[in-house]
Copies of this chain bind each other. A is one copy, B any other.
Amino acid sequence: MLNINIQKEDLLKALSDVQHAISSKPSMPILTGVKISADKEGVTIVGTNNDLSITKTIPLEHKGTEIVSLKKEGSIVLNAKFLLDIVKKAPKTDILITVGKNFVTEIQSGKSSFNLNGLEPEMFPKIPEIEGEIDFSISVKDLKQLISQTILVAATSEMRPILTGVNLTLSSSEIKAVATDSHRLVLKTLSIPAGEEEKNITIPAKSLQELAKILDDPKEQVGIKMSESQIIFQSNNLLLCTRLLEGKYPDTAKLIPDNTTTTVKGNKKELIAALDRCSLLANEKTKIITLEATKGQLILSVTSKEVGNVTEILDDIEIDGEDVKISFSEKFAKDALSTFDKEKVKLEFTGAVRPFLFRCDEDNTLTQLVLPVRT
C-alpha cells in the first residue's frame, strides 16, 4: 500500500495542474478525486471529467535532489479539493502520505495529521491513450497565443455544440484555426514544420482554456498526437488528453468580406480606453457603442436617456476611404482588440451593415470579425 514522503512544493504544483480537469459537479462520485500512483518511475497524479483528463508525473529526483522518498509502491484515489487545500496549508516542506486499511490515508506534515477516506484506485476511469509517436510539436508560446486569440470567440451556448470548439485545419505546413459564436469570428494561421497530413478537427474551447492555464514555460515544446476522437498534448511531465467534438464545422471562408470601403488605423490601447469609457453609459446588458469615421476623425459615442451621453474623439488616427457610421457590441470589439499584441491595429469596414474586421499590418496571421448591430 502506497507510502511516500514527497516535497510539498512539487505535490502542490501537480495537484494544482491536475485540478483543472476536475469538474465541480462530476457525473460520478469518484471523479471528485485524483488518482495518485507511486512506483520506481515516480509519482503520477491524474484527474479527469471524462471529456478532459490531465496527468502529471513527479520524478523521484530532479538534478540529483530527492523529491520523493518511495517507501512502498501503490495507488489511491483521494478527494481532489480536500487534498489540494491540505497540501496548500501543510506546515512543513515535506509531506508523508500513508495508505492504510479500507483506503484510509494519512497525510502528515510536522505535527499536523489528516486521515482522509480514500477510494479504491481500480474504480478510477482509464485514461485514453494514443499509440505511436507524436504527430508534430509546437512551442508553448505559439500554442498559448493561438489559444488566447481564439477561445474567447467560441460559442458558450450549447445550442450548436460544434461552435463551442476551436476548429483546426492542418495542412502540410500550417494550422488554420477558426472560432465563431455566429456574432463574431476569428481566423488565425500558424506555421508548423512541413510534412503533416491534411486533417480537420474541432477541440472543445474549454479544454484549450485549461491547457493554456497549465502550460507555463514559453520556451518548452508541446508534442501533439491525434486519433479520430481524441487529441493529446504532452510537455515535460504533463499530459493532457481531450475528446474532440463530433460533427462538421461550418464553412466560414466566405464570411470574411474582401471589398473594404473604409480603413481606420489607430492605437490599440487608446481604442480600448475609449471603448471602456463609452461603456460606462452604455446599456448594461447590450453595451452597444456607435463608431463614426468622418472628416478624418474617429468618434465613439453612447447616449443614454436617463444618465446622459459620452463622446470620445480619438487622436492619432489614419482614415482612408468612405465615411462610415456603425454600431456594435463593446465587449466583442474589446475582446477582438485585446488579442493583438502589437501597438497599431487596423479596422476594415464594408459599410454600416456588413461585418467589419480587426487586423494588424505588422502581423497578418490574425483576423477578428465582428457583426454590427442595427440600432
| A interface residues with partner B (beta carbon < 8 Å) | 79, 82, 85-86, 89, 91, 104, 111-117, 273-274, 276-277, 280-281, 306-315
Q: How far is the CA of A111 from the CA of B274 in the complex (A)?
A: 10
A86 closest partner in B (C-beta): B280
Q: For residue A315, which residues in chain B have a CB less than 8 angstroms away from its CB?
A: 111
A299 closest partner in B (C-beta): B111
| Shortest CB distance A194–B (Å) | 48
Asked if residues B111 and A273 are in contact (CB atoms below 8 Å), the reply is no
Asked if residues A280 and B310 are in contact (CB atoms below 8 Å), the reply is no
Q: How far is the CA of A313 from the CA of B114 in the complex (A)?
A: 12
A315 closest partner in B (C-beta): B111
Copies of this polypeptide in the complex: 2
A-B contacts besides A82-B280, A111-B313, A115-B310, 10 pairs, CB < 8 Å = A86-B277, A89-B280, A91-B277, A111-B312, A112-B277, A113-B312, A114-B308, A114-B309, A114-B310, A117-B307
Q: How far is the CA of A308 from the CA of B83 in the complex (A)?
A: 12
Asked if residues A116 and B273 are in contact (CB atoms below 8 Å), the reply is no
Closest 5 CB pairs of A and B: A111-B313, A116-B308, A115-B308, A114-B310, A113-B311
Q: A89-B280, A281-B82 in contact; A115/B273 too (CB < 8 A)?
A: no
Asked if residues A312 and B112 are in contact (CB atoms below 8 Å), the reply is yes
| Shortest CB distance A291–B (Å) | 15
Q: For residue A313, which residues in chain B have a CB less than 8 angstroms away from its CB?
A: 111
Q: A91-B273, A313-B111, A315-B111 in contact; A116/B307 too (CB < 8 A)?
A: yes
Q: For residue A308, which residues in chain B have a CB less than 8 angstroms away from its CB?
A: 82, 104, 114-117
Q: For residue A114, which residues in chain B have a CB less than 8 angstroms away from its CB?
A: 277, 280-281, 308-310
Q: For residue A91, which residues in chain B have a CB less than 8 angstroms away from its CB?
A: 273, 277
Asked if residues A310 and B112 are in contact (CB atoms below 8 Å), the reply is yes
A113 closest partner in B (C-beta): B311
Q: For residue A85, which residues in chain B have a CB less than 8 angstroms away from its CB?
A: 280
Asked if residues A307 and B82 are in contact (CB atoms below 8 Å), the reply is yes
A-B contact pairs, 30 of them (CB 8 A): A79-B307, A82-B280, A82-B281, A82-B307, A85-B280, A86-B277, A89-B273, A89-B276, A89-B277, A91-B273, A104-B308, A111-B312, A111-B314, A111-B315, A112-B274, A112-B277, A112-B311, A113-B310, A113-B312, A114-B277, A114-B280, A114-B281, A114-B308, A114-B309, A114-B310, A115-B309, A115-B310, A116-B307, A116-B308, A117-B307
| Shortest CB distance A358–B (Å) | 22
Q: How far is the CA of A314 from the CA of B113 in the complex (A)?
A: 12
Q: How far is the CA of A79 from the CA of B306 in the complex (A)?
A: 11
Q: How far is the CA of A115 from the CA of B301 in the complex (A)?
A: 11
| Shortest CB distance A63–B (Å) | 31
Q: For residue A104, which residues in chain B have a CB less than 8 angstroms away from its CB?
A: 308
| Shortest CB distance A309–B (Å) | 5
| Shortest CB distance A72–B (Å) | 20
A278 closest partner in B (C-beta): B112
Q: How far is the CA of A113 from the CA of B273 in the complex (A)?
A: 13
Q: How far is the CA of A216 from the CA of B310 in the complex (A)?
A: 34
Q: How far is the CA of A114 from the CA of B312 in the complex (A)?
A: 9
A90 closest partner in B (C-beta): B277
Q: For residue A311, which residues in chain B have a CB less than 8 angstroms away from its CB?
A: 112-113
